[in-house]
Structure 1
């Protein structure tokens, strides 16, 4: 019974955590470049001085992400770009460190600085990239950004810089609380010249709505089962107490 209580109690708690993860995935089904989060759990015995190996608890295992590609959608917007195949955009997070995202929906600040819609500065190979106000932006397949100089005939492209595109191995990446990915060792990933982008397009979320809904229903049934086990343990304890009182 002792083991039953520990397993059911911690199991119910972890099921609630998994429900929160699935709910977060569903909430980001329309977030460009979002990668679904995957949680894993395992049952381990409680060990310690004087402890009998009768207690087992459920603990969190490795938290990973689904790195499959989302659908690329044509938007026709100059500052929307999507990565074709493997690769990441490099950005600067709120702490001034390099991080990575697949969300290529960009905007220009009042000073012309290129940022993501969440306010992270996009990194170029030579640093942050700024664009002139009210200019037509062209983004090449290799991530080169240029503007058309107005009043020139034929039109002359003025190259502003090139986006820093990287492709670190996914097993070396870790997701942050801000939704950005970073290398586990904290070192910036090197530029990868083979990463290509698609202009006037964005990559959608890779969350499968049907799978997520089925997962949520399955987890609700799991939670109900764990609560029923706790109720059974309570009933067993009450009946055992009655038997001891009779004796």
Structure 2
């Protein structure tokens, strides 16, 4: 009897974790560049002094869906979207690198190129500083150019180049801040094959319909686990009554 209760209890516990993941995906259905999360669970035997006759559920893989989301034009010069695979590299508060697909950028009061959350966007030589009041354009390879004030339209000045990386998806993990990073925390190399589309942003790749269906299915699975626990309790009560009569 305890095996049934233990299995149902651990199953219900992890179904709640899956519900939290599905809820988080729905909450970020409109977040720029968001990558949908998914959980994968498996049953393993309980190892102890006795024979491994009981099992419980563990979270074997927590990953992300790296399928690109649809691109939306914005007409804003500081908006960039990555075409296909690749990441923008930003500088986190602790100095380490973070990877993001959210290309909604801005300039701080000192002209430093940043994300909307205030993280410095890294170029191939470090943070990028742009001259104030100067119109800029971002090329397909991430090159940032401008035309200095008073110069002819042909006097294009290259300011810097975005650091665009493309590490293997299997080597990436999502941090608590929503940014991705390499599993060992190492820095990434720039990949010249990564391209960007200017004046555009990438939408979230979360499917609202799929997420809603997933939440409904998980709700039914949770009810089934609760029904198993109730059945186990009823069986134990009946067994106790029989033993008492005997």
Which TM-score applies when normalising by structure 1?
0.96
Could you tell me how far apart the structure 2 residues matched to 1:205 and 1:123 are? 23
Contact persistence 2:147–2:153 (CA under 8 A): no
Contact persistence 1:122–1:129 (CA under 8 A): yes
**Is 1:128 matched with 2:106?**
no
Deviation at 1:133, TM superposition (A): 2.2
Contact persistence 1:91–1:100 (CA under 8 A): yes
CA RMSD of aligned residues (A): 1.1
Structure 1 regions of 5+ residues with no counterpart?
none
Within 5 Å, which residues of 2 pair with 1:13-32?
13-32=13-32
Could you tell me how far apart the structure 1 residues matched to 2:94 and 2:242 are? 63
Aligned to 1:217: 216
Could you tell me how far apart the structure 2 residues matched to 1:26 and 1:134 are? 39
Contact persistence 1:104–1:116 (CA under 8 A): yes
Aligned to 1:5: 5
Q: Deviations over 1:205-228 (max 9, x none)?
A: 110111111000000000111111
Aligned to 1:34: 34
Aligned to 2:159: 160
Contact persistence 1:149–1:155 (CA under 8 A): no
Residue aligned with 1:31, SS: coil
Could you tell me how far apart the structure 2 residues matched to 1:125 and 1:173 are? 21
Within 5 Å, which residues of 2 pair with 1:169-180?
169-180=168-179
Q: Deviations over 1:21-74 (max 9, x none)?
A: 0010111111111110110111111111x2343322111111111010100110
Aligned to 1:239: 238
Could you tell me how far apart the structure 2 residues matched to 1:164 and 1:71 are? 22
Could you tell me how far apart the structure 2 residues matched to 1:218 and 1:227 are? 14
Within 5 Å, which residues of 2 pair with 1:1-247?
1-48=1-48, 50-154=49-153, 156-247=155-246
Runs of 4+ in 1 over 6 A off after TM superposition: none
